[in-house]
Amino acid sequence: MTRATAEQSGLRELARAALPPALTFVIVVALWEGAVRGFAVPRFLVPPPSDVLMAGWTERATLAGALFTTAQGAGLGFLLSVSVGTSVGLLFSLSRWLERGLYPYALFLQTVPIVAVAPLLVLWFGPGLRAVAVSAFIVSVFPIIANTLAGLRSVDPRLSDLFRLYGATLSDAVLKLRLPSAIPSMMTGLKVASGLSVIGAIVGEFVAGFSEGNAGLGITVLSAYRQLRTDLLFAAVLLASLLGLSLFALVSSLSTLLLRRLRSPG
C-alpha cells in the first residue's frame, strides 16, 4: 500500500468512527432548538442550545477559570487514586490476609455516599482544592484497586509454574510476570476512574468548593441555579462532562500506546 492510500484509508477510518456521533449531535441539537422554540418552553426550564452557547461565550472568563480549578481537583484526585489504588491492589495481591482484612473497607469507599461525607472532608482538609481532590480520590480509587488486583491475579498458571520451576524471586515474579500481565486490566481501571474523578471533584465542590478567588464548575452550577441562569448551568454541566471525556481520552490513548508497546491483548 502506498503512503497516500494509507493516509486515505486512515481518513476513511476516522470518518467512519466520527461521522455517526457527529450526525447524532447535529440532529439532537436541531430537534432541541426546534422543540424549545416551537413549544415555547420557558427558558429557565430548558434553554435552547443557542442560549447555552451564548452564555458560554459571554461568561467565558468565569467558565475557563472554573474549568481550570475543577481540572486541578479532579486531576490531583485521579493521580492520588492511581498511586494509592495501584499500591493497595499490589499489596492485596501479595497477601490474602491483608486482602481479606482490608478489602471490605476498600469497598466501603465505593459505596459511601460521597455527598454525605463531603462536609467531613471540609472539616478535615478545609475548604478548597485539598478537600475537592480527596473527594475525587474517594470516588475513583476503588475501580483501580479492584482492576489492579484482578489483573495481578489473572496470571496464566502455567507461566507461574514456569517462574516457579526456575526459582524466580518474588520481585522477579511481580516485575517480570504479574505486573506486565495485569496492565490491560489496570488500564480498564484507570479509564473508569478518570471519569469518576471528575464526578467526585464536582460533588466535592458543591460542599467544599468555596475558597477565595477560584471557584470550580461545581460552584458555577450552584450559583447559576440560584440565579435561575439555566443557560449558564447547562454550559457548566457540558464543560464538566467535556472535562471527564478529555481525561478519559487522555488515559485511553496513553493506555493504547502502552499496550501496543507491551504487545498485550486488550
Contact between 161 and another protein by CB under 8 A: the answer reads yes
CA dihedral 121, 91, 177, 261 (to 10 degrees): 10
Among 27, 162, 242, 245, binds another protein (CB under 8 A): 162
Contact between 170 and another protein by CB under 8 A: the answer reads no
| Minimum distance of another protein from residue 2's CB (angstroms) | 23
- The site map against another protein for 75-114 (x = CB under 8 A) is ----------------------------------------
Q: Which stretch binds another protein (CB under 8 A): 70-78, 162-170, 234-242, 249-257?
A: 162-170
Contact between 172 and another protein by CB under 8 A: the answer reads yes
Using CB under 8 A as the binding rule, the residues of this chain from 3 to 42 that contact another protein are none
Q: Which stretch binds another protein (CB under 8 A): 3-11, 131-139, 154-162, 215-223?
A: 154-162
Residues 136 and 76: beta-carbon distance below 8 Å = yes
Cell match 468565569: residue?
62
Distance CA 117, CA 139 (A): 11
Q: Which stretch binds another protein (CB under 8 A): 43-51, 62-70, 127-135, 158-166?
A: 158-166
- The length of the chain is 266
H or E stretch at 266: none
Binding-residue total with another protein (CB under 8 A): 20
Residue 113 neighbours by CB distance under 10 Å: 8
Q: What is the distance between the terminal CA atoms of the chain, rounded to a whole angstrom?
A: 27
User: What are residue 197's phi and psi, to 5 degrees?
Assistant: -65, -35
Residue 53 neighbours by CB distance under 10 Å: 16
Query: Where does this chain bind another protein (CB under 8 A)?
Result: 156, 158-159, 161-169, 172, 176-177, 180, 262-265
